[in-house]
Amino acid sequence: MQKESLSSSPDFDANSMTATCLSHEELVEFHNQTKEKWPERCWSDKDLTAKSEIIHFHLSPQVRDEIIGSLEFVRANGLKLNTITQEDFRLPTLAREMPELRQRLDQGLGFVVIHTDLAETLSEQEFEILGWAICNYFGQIMRQGIDHDLRLFTVADKGTANSDPTRIGASAKRSAKHSDNGCLEPRPPCYLGLFCYQSSDQGGESTIISAQSILGTIMNERPDLLSHYFQTYHFRAPQSHVWPSKGPTIQKPILEFKNGELMVHYARIMITPGMEMAGEPLSAVQIEALDFLDEVLERPDLNFKTLLRPGDLLVMNNLAFLHGREEFSPGSTGGRNLKRYWMWRRHIGPGTDPVLLDLAEFDS
Ligand SMILES: [Fe+2]
């Protein structure tokens, strides 16, 4: 299959561009170009009410049969989450659907909810393997720790065992809008998968907002703050995402045009302490800019909101969209439990081919 290109516009440089090299007029022009190129990303909650058929995807009986067959192979051979390979779990009927499903993430609304209806019939270990197998069709699964969480991270309330204030995913608290930043890696996850094993009794809805909506709102309402979102900030990495040989922060802008695409990287809970750790505490105007951003991110009319049920797999574009989660109360059978997968796209640009990646990074 021919690789898709995200840099076909001759007006865009292949390299990242930030406000240090772009004037206000250029930012407006690039924003207009990305709106034209990705019109489906410019949605409001009202637009989504009529788009249920592209938000939700139900597995066909053939795919379910293939899953059941693969799980029998897994059981018969004693395979585990960390030993299974993609050759052990083939889903050819789902594979035929995958280009269109990826298209929904890359060019469309930016997310899809896959309803497997399989949570109650599987053990937790089998459920984790199934999520890995489906997500592996979307992209290459990334590690989420140096020597642990190599294939997934369990998002659940871990109580006092979670001592890291940046890891809201390990608590029952409300999680403000953010991107998953994958601080161990030079490239963040392209896709994020959240596979619901158990729901909460109350709360825990997932929310999503598009970078196009964010930038459009800022341009309309506070163009004076625009440049502050294209500046580079220090993000404090979660404790388990810090390389021993490197510093405790990573640097990136909140918004950037990269390869002709508007991208967003954010987590206020990581930026404020990250800037302090770097000896560059946020200035008054930077705080004003981030406060305004936080207010925009919570507007209901700009958000998609859904409650995942057991067996639902939400897969979303983590580069051009932010996500969050409402506070929840523990469930009666152990509490809300989601399996989180991070993926790099194989099917766009250099994908995960080391040759093409090196040529793209070092020969450009
Ligand atoms: Fe997250």
Residue 91 belongs to some domain of the structure: yes
Q: Compute, in angstroms, the gap from residue 176 CA to the centroid of ligand 1.
A: 9
Asked if the structure places residue 332 within a domain, the reply is yes
The pLDDT, as a whole number, for residue 363 is 80
Counting as low any pLDDT under 70, the low residues of the chain are: 1-21, 160-163, 165, 167-171, 330-334, 364
Distance of CA 62 from the midpoint of ligand 1 (Å): 32
CA of 325 to the centre of ligand 1 (A): 8
179 Cα to the center of ligand 1, angstroms: 6
Q: Is 7 inside any structural domain?
A: no
**Run of H or E including 212:** helix 211-221
Distance 88 CA to ligand 1 centre (A): 29
Give the model confidence (pLDDT) of 131-180 as tens digits: 999 999 999 999 999 999 999 999 987 776 666 767 666 667 788 999 99
Q: Is residue 15 part of a domain?
A: no
Specify if 351 maps to a domain: yes
Cα-to-centroid distance, 26 and ligand 1 (Å): 31
Spell out where the chain has E strands: 56-58, 111-115, 140-141, 153-156, 175-178, 191-198, 202-203, 206-210, 232-236, 249-253, 255-258, 261-264, 304-306, 312-317, 321-325, 328-329, 337-344
Count of the separate structural domains present in the chain: 1
Instruction: Give the pLDDT score at 170.
Output: 66
Residue 338 domain-assigned? yes
Please give the model's pTM, rounded to 2 decimal places. Answer: 0.91
Predicted pLDDT at 14: 35
* pLDDT given for residue 72 in this prediction: 97
- What's 255's domain CATH number? 3.60.130.10
Ligand 1 center from residue 356 Cα (angstroms): 29
Ligand 1 centroid to residue 271 C-alpha, Å: 15
CA of 311 to the centre of ligand 1 (A): 19
> For 87-117, what is each residue's pLDDT tens digit?
999 999 999 999 999 999 999 999 999 999 9
Determine the pLDDT at residue 163. 67
Q: Which residues form the domain of 298?
A: 24-362
What per-residue confidence (pLDDT) applies to 160? 62
> Considering the domain boundaries, does residue 65 fall inside one?
yes
Is 229 part of a structural domain of the chain? yes
Structure tokens at 211: 């970078």
CB 130 within 8 A of CB 67: yes
How far away, in angstroms, is 322 Cα from ligand 1 center?
8
Return residues with CB closer than 5 A to ligand 1 (ion). 180
pLDDT of residue 188: 96
